[in-house]
Amino acid sequence: MATSKKQLYKIIIVGDSGVGKTSLLNMYVNQRFTQQYRATVGADFMAKEVMIDDRMVTLQIWDTAGQERFQSLGGAFYRGADCCVIVYDITNAKSFESLDTWRDEFLLQGAPKDPENFPFVLLGNKVDRDSDRKVPTAKAQTWCKNHGDIPLFEVSAKGNTMVDDAFQVIAKSASTQQKEEEIYFPVTVQLNKTETNRQTKSGCC
C-alpha cells in the first residue's frame, strides 16, 4: 500500500568552532551568507526538501556546537543520524587535525548500528580564501582514503561554491541507511469469525 508520508533523513554537521558549519547550512537552506559570527549554542537544525532518485525526501540538518564545553551533549543529537558531515577550514590546520576526534566522537556517542559502513562526508570550507590555505587538497584526499573513501568537497559558504553539490551527495549517502522506523504499514487487526460474532451480539458501543 502506498503511503503519503515522506522519507526523513537526519544529517549531523560537526567540526571545530569557527569553521563555517552554520554558514554552510544557511547558504544551502536559505541561500544567504552573513559575515557576522555567532557561535552555535548546543545545536540547532533546519529542514529542506530535496529530490533523491526521483523521490522527494526531507533533510533534517543538525548544526552542532564546535566548542569543547558542548561536546558532552553530542550523544543527544547524534543518535538516529543517517549521515555525518565533518567540516574543517582549509585556512586552519588545527581544524583539520581535529577530524579524527570528531569522527571518533560521533561513532562513540551516536552509536550507529553499522559503524564500519556509516556514511561520512568531509567538507573543506573557505576555498574563497585559497591564498591563505593551510591544508593541501592532497592531504585531505589522503585522510578520506584512509577512512573508507569518504567523499570530499572543498566548498565556500561565502561564495556558494560546491555547496549544493556537496549536500546532494550528503543526501544520497543518507539515503543508503535502512530506517526501520520509517517503513509505514497500516495496522490490520484480523478477527476470527467467533470474535466477530461475539462483538456483534454484545452490541458494543
**What are 135-183's pLDDT values in tens digits?**
999 999 999 999 999 999 999 999 999 999 999 999 999 998 865 444 3
Inside any domain, residue 2: no
Between strands 43-52 and 55-64, the pairing is antiparallel
Residue linked to cell 586552519: 92
pLDDT in tens, 67-99: 444 455 556 788 899 999 999 999 999 999 999
Instruction: Render pLDDT for 20-50 as a digit per residue (tens, 0 to 9).
Output: 999 999 999 988 866 654 544 445 778 999 9
Instruction: State the pairing for strand pair 120-125/55-64.
Output: unpaired
33: domain CATH number? 3.40.50.300
Overall average pLDDT of the 111-119 stretch: 93
Q: What is the pTM of this model?
A: 0.79
Beta strands in the chain (DSSP E): 7-14, 43-52, 55-64, 83-89, 120-125, 152-154
User: What torsion, rounded to 10 degrees, do the Cα atoms 96, 176, 23, 155 define?
Assistant: 60
Q: How far is CA 174 from CA 84, 120, 168, in A?
A: 9, 9, 10
Cell numbers given for 35: 559575515
Domain assignment of residue 97, yes or no: yes
Please choose, from the candidates 20, 7, 70, 71, the residue with its C-alpha nearest in 3D space to the C-alpha of residue 41.
70
**Nearest CA to 45 among 59, 33, 57, 61?**
61
- Residue 19 belongs to some domain of the structure: yes
Domain count for the chain, please give it. Answer: 1
Distance of alpha carbon 137 from the chain centroid? 23
Range of the domain at 50: 7-202
Domain membership flag for residue 107: yes
